[in-house]
Structure 1
Amino acid sequence: MLRQNLQQKLLQKLSPQQIQFIKLLQIPTVGLDARIKEELEENPALEDLSLVNLNDPVEEYPDKDPDTQEFNAEETGNDEFDEFNVDDYLQEDSINDYGSKYEQNGDDEEERKEMPIAIQSSFYETLQQQLDLAPISDKDFAVGRQIIGSLDDDGYLRRSITSLLDDLAFSQNVIAEEEEVEDMLKLIQSFEPAGVGARDLQECLLIQLRKKEQTPVIQKAIKVVENYLDEFTRKHYDKLERSLNMDSVELREVIAEILKLNPKPGDAGETNTKQLQVIPDFHISNNEGTLILTLNSQNAPELRVSRSYKEMFEHYDKASQKDKKLKEAVQFVKQKLDSARWFIDAIKQRQQTLLKTMNAIMQYQYEYFLTGDERNLRPMILKDIADKIGMDISTVSRVANSKYVQTEFGTFLLKSFFSEAIQMESGEEVSNKEVKKILEECISNEDKQHPLADERLTEILKEKGYNIARRTVAKYREAMNIPVARLRREL
């Protein structure tokens, strides 16, 4: 049964400009440059002033203030109107000539030279190269290639032999026996890096140990991994000494050899390439007791609306009433101009929000940024900064979760300066960062043969005036990735 009725609703919707600002705000500095380049490629009405200056006289741009660059950086000595043809541009998609267009007018050769691409063999390519050199039949080669392709990123073979046989039959039309697959797996386990092709951690460690020179220490290490791996991982050293009839010195040598092994051989050749480069968004310097905050210059690009596109809009707008096609061209150019202005405004708003938020954090944690001592960190939550700058908590969260600040004591994620309050016996509120710092110092200075249990750490904190439960101490220890006392024990 259909009915009609009236409803009154109050809805809050984000405009396209607000959505664009939110997306730009949460992009870190390392990703902002790529985002700007993407926008420059998509919108010809947007120009990078630093690139335009390569061809234009310097005196044409006396005003480089980021707050005025959108409107004051319009004057240019080159009239580029004739270089643009709106009709041709409208037809670009159908011509499908995007690649050739940007090969001629796009990336600068000098810029390409500054960003070389490292060419190196991947983990799988390295294994494939070793397989290519093995004197085996075509069938064995197909089996070996299937095994290599089935390894995970750590270098382990997690699939069963039966599953590999099914894969070979259905994907490559190769009918193989289980023994043939086992033989090829043993061959691949002899490849470098050592330990590759193992089906579990124990097999991975044994492959590596058996490739070493079989000294008495290595033989004992093999015995430990073969028969007492669980006791080894749980650090039950007393049981190992009794079972293997070793003293603590011998066991220490054996453990040292096992710890040299790589539990993830697939990462062996790619460790350096997986490191994330952190580019700070802010810099804080100490000028004789006065903190100075600066924004990374990459966060303040010199963008402007293209003068030639403005002239093009005025030219076509005058004639648009006479020609339907020209009227469409005016709408297209206006859309590009509006998009360019919105993007520039969003970048400026991003700059202002970043500076405003970071300045509030710096003022709130002034003593910490002066000294670098984590004990000087005040309890601070997102709401404290949001109230201080008059913005929403979600805005502060977007800044804190993705931005870094470089200080004289290191580079830190803004999120690390936020912490909950803990009340001391004196009634004073301190940051839980202070408690974590004390825990870290206690554990780093403990006797490794008799590490401090959580109960003892709780007692130490209470002696210092921090009335904290044992479960809270355990939570903080786990948050710092510090294992329990038994696993911290050393011989």
Structure 2
Amino acid sequence: MLKQFLNLKLSQKLSPQQIQLMKLIQLPTQAFEQRLLEEMNENPALEAGKEDDYEKDEFETEDYDDYDDAEADRIEADDINIDDYLGSDDIPDYKTQVNNYSDDDEERDMPFAAPISFHQDLINQLNTFILEDEDRQIAEFLVGSIDDMGYIRRSIPDIVDDLAFTQGIYTDEKNVDRLLHVIHELEPTGVGARDLQECLLLQLKHKTPTENIAIAIDIIENQFDAFTKKHYEKLIQKYNVSSEQLKKAIHEIEKLNPKPGSSLAGNNRVTENIVPDFAIRIVDGELELTLNGRNAPSLHVSKDYQEMMQTYKDSRDKSTQQKEAVQFIKQKLDSAKWFIDAIRQRQETLFVTMNAIMHYQEEFFLDGDETKLKPMILKDIADLVGLDISTVSRVANSKYVETPYGTKLIKEFFSEAMMNDQGEEVSTLEIKKILKNTIEEEDKHKPLPDDQLAEILKEKGYPIARRTIAKYREQLDIPVARMRKKM
């Protein structure tokens, strides 16, 4: 049976303003500037620059909440010009246009680069082939199926089905396979391959035939599994060649491009420049922290909008039309005042958090040795600055700091703790650095497996299990020993 009943409970919820503040804190410098620009475009009561000859504390929006509807019969409608308040922000385009050139001046346009996309480049190449209309449609569909790495990751039967369902083109696998060979003639060589093996084969077959190329082709075509697992002894016996001959054939394979599409597809991607949110410098042996000035813009509430509100306050009569206008003005003033205060809180939060991180990792920032990074988790910093862990996480997650040793992502300074053989807590970052150095110094003809790496680190005072070594190695993007082997 369904019953209705009342239930009282206490719950804590974030206000919309608190949520917006958290979002502001999370933004890195460039995104913050964009957010600032959007706010200024939306709110004409918010102005950039320093406020001169005006007492900042003179205006308090709370004073204007107390107007009384009963006073509406004592105001002149002309005291407030509604059009001035609501329409003065839109300046006609013709007022901002100017021509500083005479009629005799030659008009010169600034040339702009117009890069061709990866797929459009392939289509342009395809247009040089003489094809029937339906074959051209199928070939263009195949080009559209190529990913940014240059591969077609779909089977021919699936492509045949898609052509029928989405393009209304009914063909067979044999015809699609024939046109796929046309795609394989496009540049860069290897584009349109369905897997790595086919990609490498296409590139090798386009090379000038030599003995080394012939061996390389046979290896990829018939011994691909042995090649990928680096079973070089098996390959030497299979082809009855010397170690030096096999090394030359494998060198030909290593020169190939396993991602033929990336050379063109990557050129069309927007490159983002990292803008450090903080800068740390060493001055007279002491650390000095500064916040990027772009995070601390000079903003103030529009004096004109404040005067509009003051005019309304001094008026005796208040019409309905004026009350609607003043509601709009007050909303914009409140929003501007809150946004300025939110930016100030953002600056303070960023600075105190990064300042705590800087002093916590003082040894590293003074020396630059990554092995001196202390174990540090979000709670350590949250306890120091008296903020919530989620707030510290927002500061650290997407912010960069410029140091004397390069620009670093702040979250990289955080790590868990492990015990060394002396019972001291050491950072996992320190262990990863030592592990990376050990692998770099190994004999690449006989790379060290994970169990041997664990023994070496144990001898250096870091008793770590083999599975932990494997986990750290994967986090460092270092392959297993077999894949690190070189001839």
Please give the TM-score of this superposition, normalised by the length of structure 1.
0.85
Task: Indicate how the Cα distance of structure 1 residues 162 and 437 shifts in structure 2: closer, same or farther if over 3 A, else same.
Answer: closer
Of the candidates 178, 189, 197, which is equivalent to residue 183 of structure 1?
Answer: 178
3-state SS of paired residue (2:170): coil
- Cα distance per residue 1:379-428 (max 9 Å; x no partner): 11111111110111111111111111111111111111111112122222
CA contact (8 A) 2:199 2:258 kept: yes
- Cα distance per residue 1:180-207 (max 9 Å; x no partner): 3222221111111211111111111111
Q: What is the Cα deviation at residue 318 of structure 1? A: 5.1
Of the candidates 117, 137, 140, which is equivalent to residue 142 of structure 1?
Answer: 137
Task: Indicate how the Cα distance of structure 1 residues 424 and 167 shifts in structure 2: closer, same or farther if over 3 A, else same.
Answer: closer
Q: Which residue of 2 aligns with 1:56?
A: none
Distance 1:145 1:283 in 2: 51
Highest relative contact order (Cα 8 Å, sep 6+), 1 or 2?
2
3-state SS of paired residue (1:47): strand
Q: Which residue of 2 aligns with 1:13?
A: 13
1:394 has 2:390 as partner: yes
Q: What is the Cα deviation at residue 83 of structure 1? A: 12
3-state SS of paired residue (2:401): strand
Task: Indicate how the Cα distance of structure 1 residues 5 and 177 shifts in structure 2: closer, same or farther if over 3 A, else same.
Answer: closer
Q: Which residue of 1 aligns with 2:310?
A: 314
CA contact (8 A) 1:381 1:418 kept: yes
3-state SS of paired residue (1:205): helix
Task: Map 1:224-263; keep pairs closer than 5 Å.
Answer: 224-263=219-258
Task: Map 1:61-80; keep pairs closer than 5 Å.
Answer: 61=52
1:412 has 2:408 as partner: yes
Of the candidates 80, 98, 122, which is equivalent to residue 117 of structure 2?
Answer: 122
Distance 2:474 2:86 in 1: 63
CA contact (8 A) 2:148 2:265 kept: no
3-state SS of paired residue (1:383): helix
AA aligned to 1:26 is: Q
Q: Which residue of 1 aligns with 2:282?
A: 286
AA aligned to 1:38 is: E
Comparing 268-277 with 442-451, which one deviates more in the overlay?
268-277
Distance 2:252 2:58 in 1: 68
1:341 has 2:337 as partner: yes
1:468 has 2:461 as partner: no
CA contact (8 A) 1:71 1:304 kept: no
Q: Which residue of 2 aligns with 1:363?
A: 359
Of the candidates 139, 158, 163, which is equivalent to residue 168 of structure 1?
Answer: 163
3-state SS of paired residue (1:430): strand
Q: Which residue of 2 aligns with 1:331?
A: 327
Q: What is the Cα deviation at residue 134 of structure 1? A: 2.1
Give RMSD over aligned pairs. Answer: 2.9
Q: What is the Cα deviation at residue 312 of structure 1? A: 2.6
Task: Indicate how the Cα distance of structure 1 residues 193 and 454 shifts in structure 2: closer, same or farther if over 3 A, else same.
Answer: same
CA contact (8 A) 1:155 1:264 kept: yes
Q: Which residue of 1 aligns with 2:426?
A: 430
Task: Indicate how the Cα distance of structure 1 residues 368 and 250 shifts in structure 2: closer, same or farther if over 3 A, else same.
Answer: same
Structure 1 residue ranges without an equivalent (≥5): 51-59, 74-80, 93-97, 107-114
1:35 has 2:30 as partner: no
- Cα distance per residue 1:67-123 (max 9 Å; x no partner): x9x7699xxxxxxx999733448xx9xxxxx9x9689769xxxxxxxx997521111
- Cα distance per residue 1:204-258 (max 9 Å; x no partner): 1111111111222222111111111111111111112211222222222222221
Task: Indicate how the Cα distance of structure 1 residues 332 and 257 shifts in structure 2: closer, same or farther if over 3 A, else same.
Answer: same
Q: Which residue of 2 aligns with 1:217?
A: 212
Task: Indicate how the Cα distance of structure 1 residues 116 and 170 shifts in structure 2: closer, same or farther if over 3 A, else same.
Answer: same
CA contact (8 A) 1:284 1:291 kept: yes
What percent identity do the matched residue pairs reach?
53
Comparing 445-454 with 132-141, which one deviates more in the overlay?
132-141
AA aligned to 2:7 is: Q
3-state SS of paired residue (2:115): coil
Comparing 154-163 with 423-432, which one deviates more in the overlay?
154-163
Q: What is the Cα deviation at residue 360 of structure 1? A: 0.3
Distance 1:124 1:313 in 2: 58
Comparing 158-167 with 179-188, which one deviates more in the overlay?
158-167
Q: What is the Cα deviation at residue 62 of structure 1? A: 9.0
3-state SS of paired residue (1:203): helix
Q: What is the Cα deviation at residue 339 of structure 1? A: 1.2
AA aligned to 1:207 is: L
Q: Which residue of 2 aligns with 1:45?
A: 45
How many residues are matched?
Answer: 455
CA contact (8 A) 1:320 1:326 kept: no
Q: What is the Cα deviation at residue 42 of structure 1? A: 1.5
Please give the TM-score of this superposition, normalised by the length of structure 2.
0.86
Runs of 4+ in 1 over 4 A off after TM superposition: 1-4, 60-63, 70-73, 81-84, 100-106, 115-118, 316-321
3-state SS of paired residue (2:264): coil
Distance 1:83 1:269 in 2: 56
1:384 has 2:380 as partner: yes
Q: Which residue of 1 aligns with 2:84?
A: 85
Q: What is the Cα deviation at residue 288 of structure 1? A: 2.7
3-state SS of paired residue (1:270): helix
Task: Indicate how the Cα distance of structure 1 residues 164 and 217 shifts in structure 2: closer, same or farther if over 3 A, else same.
Answer: same
Q: Which residue of 1 aligns with 2:70?
A: none
- Cα distance per residue 1:144-166 (max 9 Å; x no partner): 11111122222212233333333
3-state SS of paired residue (1:268): helix
Task: Indicate how the Cα distance of structure 1 residues 165 and 329 shifts in structure 2: closer, same or farther if over 3 A, else same.
Answer: same
Q: What is the Cα deviation at residue 364 of structure 1? A: 0.6
Q: What is the Cα deviation at residue 471 of structure 1? A: 1.7
Q: Which residue of 2 aligns with 1:112?
A: none
Distance 1:102 1:207 in 2: 57
Distance 1:416 1:250 in 2: 45
Distance 2:284 2:111 in 1: 41
Q: Which residue of 1 aligns with 2:107?
A: none
Distance 1:226 1:280 in 2: 49
Structure 2 residue ranges without an equivalent (≥5): 60-79, 98-109
Distance 1:488 1:322 in 2: 81
CA contact (8 A) 2:281 2:289 kept: yes
